[in-house]
Amino acid sequence: MSLAPIAATAGAVLLIVVARKLRDPLPKFLLPLATAILFLCFWQFAAEQAQYEVKQPDGTKRLVEIFPTPWSTLVGMQKPIMDGTLLRYAIASIYRVAIGFSLAVLIGIPVGLLAGWYLRGFQAINPLIQAMRPISPIAWIPVAVLWFGVKDSSAIFLITLSSFFPIVTGTMTAVQTIPLVYVRSAKNYGLGGFGLFRYVVFPACLPQIITSLRIALGIAWLVIVAAEMIAVDSGLGYLIMDARNANYYDRVVGAMITIGLIGIGLDFVMRRLELLDDVRWGFPKVNS
């Protein structure tokens, strides 16, 4: 059994070497795949080191796992996958992030645009924002529970709070760094007030805003799990706490993997935004 990881490692290395010889450049999926395989191998190997045998009363031996192997994780996740719990919990988590994140976008972008544009506004609110930004959202959990109770709204509040700061800071910086020539052009052509924001300030900032949204969504997803561990009774964070309390470590790890995969998915969606006609100009062309 413990030869498997070594074999797999050798296989992964061989795969790269062969592909390297076969054609240049490498197929895009190959390196990530090799890394994933390697990771699974080391996980398997490490988990095996922590296994031990116990003699049962009837004389047979039983293998006890301290930490689940990849395979036992998959087996352990069978039930929550099959009975729909995992899907339901994932949807619950995504729903909370969607609501909380949307609220942060709706408040954060206008506040950021205005505070970035008007120096007085910036001077007024920036110190407060920068002072609140480093407070971990986790620290707000007791406050959230006190204000909103053990409900969805508690978790949503935490999401809104944690994604608001990167959005507002990113938007403010974006406005403050608009090249002067754009603003001059706009004023020259008679744009002012709303038109100036609509046709110049907002589109000029959009690439940086999208980058800040990407960061904010990452943080939101990070925080939802922590929030659900304490403040609600559904969702992937709740699944982890619940499984831990029942000593189902395979499910703890399974939920962690699910969270990671959904995180990749969310980031993928955000990256698609960078390809829109209106913002493509603001991102360097990467040929990946």
Partner 1 sequence: MNFQSAGAASPKVHVAGLSKSFLRDKTELRVLDDIHLDVRAGEFVCLLGPSGCGKSTLLNIVGGFDTADAGRVEIEGRPVTGPDPRRVFVFQEYGIFPWASVWDNVALGLHDKPRDEQHRIIRHYIELVGLKGFERSFPSELSGGMRQRVALARALAVSPDVVYMDEPLGALDSLTRLQMRAELLRLWRREKMTILFVTHDVDESIQLADRILVMTPRPGRIAEVLKVDLPHPREISSPEYNRIKNRLYELLGVSHAI
When the beta carbons of 142 and 195 are compared against partner 1, the nearer one is 195
Is 178 among the residues that bind partner 1 (CB under 8 A)? no
273 counts as binding partner 1 under rule CB under 8 A? no
Q: Quickly list DSSP for 17-69.
A: HHHHHH-SSPPTTHHHHHHHHHHHHHHHHHHHHT-EEEE-TTS-EEEE-SS--
For residues 206 to 235, the per-residue mask of contacts with partner 1, x marking binding by CB under 8 A and - elsewhere, is x-----------------------------
Nearest to 237 by CA among 229, 245, 247: 229
Give me the 142-161 binding string for partner 1, x by CB under 8 A, dash otherwise: --------------------
Under rule CB under 8 A, residue 191 binds partner 1? yes
| Separation between Cα atoms, residue 111 and residue 167, nearest integer Å | 9
Among 25, 32, 179, 284, binds partner 1 (CB under 8 A): 179
Question: H or E segment at 143?
Answer: helix 141-148
- Closer residue to partner 1 (CB): 144 or 186: 186
Whole-angstrom CA distances from 50 to 54, 64, 248 are: 13, 9, 16
> How far out from the chain centre does Cα 124 lie?
31
Number of residues counted as binding partner 1 (CB under 8 A): 23
Residue placing its CB nearer to partner 1 in the complex, 153 or 171: 171
What is the closest distance, in whole angstroms, from the C-beta atom of residue 214 to partner 1 in the complex? 18
Selected from 32, 190, 193, 284, the binder of partner 1 by CB under 8 A is 190
B/e letters for 154-183, b = 16+ CB within 10 Å, e = fewer, are: bbbbbbbbbbbbbbbbbbbebbeebeeeeb
Nearer to partner 1, 171 or 258 (CB): 171
Amino acid at 58: D
Binding flag, residue 185, partner 1 (CB under 8 A):
yes
Q: Judged by CB under 8 A, does residue 177 bind partner 1?
A: no
Position 42 contacts partner 1 (CB under 8 A): no
- Contact (Cβ atoms closer than 8 angstroms) between residue 15 and residue 27: no
Cβ 170 to partner 1, closest distance in Å? 17
- Is there a contact between 97 and 217 (Cβ–Cβ < 8 Å)? yes
Contact between 263 and partner 1 per CB under 8 A: no
Question: Nearest-CA neighbor of 207 among 262, 155, 143, 275?
Answer: 275
Q: How far is the CB of 204 from partner 1 (least distance, A)?
A: 7
User: What are the helix (H) ranges across 149-201?
Assistant: 152-176, 180-188, 193-196
Task: Name residue 64's beta-bridge partners.
Answer: 52
Q: Does 204 bind partner 1 (CB under 8 A)?
A: yes
Q: SS3 for 83?
A: coil
Residue 25 sits in the site that holds partner 1 (CB under 8 A): no
**Binder among 20, 79, 133, 184 for partner 1 (CB under 8 A):** 184
What is the binding site for partner 1 (CB under 8 A)? Answer: 179, 181-182, 184-191, 195, 199-200, 203-204, 206, 277-282
